């Protein structure tokens, strides 16, 4: 691969990521100009996207571990969540294809990639030091923690946004019992 081909591939990949993040529909944007000429099918493009995801995730994990060295698992989960927030469309594509691969070769490749990611998450979180199935399970739990915390954070932000756009003066309204219960459950 020549230097100009490498840069062209990077530019096309960046356009794919930007389009995926704008669409957020989980569909691999094979229709973009230059994609079919640059990548050899879905699996090649997915592999490049997975590499992009893992590169950003690794950097975010390193920064999180430096910032929060006392709770490794929380730091790694926070880094995973941050990466997901930075690449929402890319994450949607990866999730969709892991759940519904288009062929057995893709299924096998994505399962290997997912298990390796879980193993890396477990190692970074200090939960494992090998590549065993137990390490993969521990890493999967870190990812689930990140996904759950991310969903809770988005719910809080949505509630805060809703409250900030309220037209009534909150001081003039006494919340009902149901409203108070909803607020407790939302928190």
- Tokens describing residue 34: 């230059």
Minimum mean pLDDT range among 3-7, 12-16, 90-94, 124-128: 3-7
Angle of helix 104-124 relative to helix 72-86, nearest 10 degrees, comes to: 140
Maximum Cα interatomic distance, the chain, rounded to a whole number of Å: 68
Q: What is the pLDDT of residues 30-79, one digit of tens each?
A: 999 999 999 999 999 999 999 999 999 999 999 999 998 899 999 999 99
Whole-angstrom Cα distance, residue 138 to residue 130? 11
């Amino acid at each position: 691969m020549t230097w100009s081909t490498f840069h062209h591939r990077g530019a096309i990949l960046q356009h794919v990521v930007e389009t995926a993040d704008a669409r957020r529909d989980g569909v691999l944007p094979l229709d973009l100009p230059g994609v079919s000429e640059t990548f050899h099918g879905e699996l090649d493009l997915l592999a490049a996207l997975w590499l992009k995801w893992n590169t950003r995730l690794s950097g975010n994990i390193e920064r999180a571990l430096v910032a929060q060295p006392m709770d490794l698992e929380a730091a790694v989960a926070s880094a995973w969540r941050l990466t997901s927030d930075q690449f929402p469309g890319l994450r949607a594509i990866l999730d969709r294809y892991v759940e519904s691969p288009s062929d057995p070769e893709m299924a096998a490749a994505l399962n290997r990639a997912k298990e390796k990611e879980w193993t890396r998450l477990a190692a970074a979180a200090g939960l494992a030091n090998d590549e065993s199935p137990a390490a993969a399970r521990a890493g999967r739990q870190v990812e689930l923690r990140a996904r759950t915390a991310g969903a809770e954070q988005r719910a809080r932000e949505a509630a805060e946004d809703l409250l900030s756009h309220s037209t009534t003066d909150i001081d003039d309204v006494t919340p009902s019992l149901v409203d108070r219960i909803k607020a407790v459950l939302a928190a």
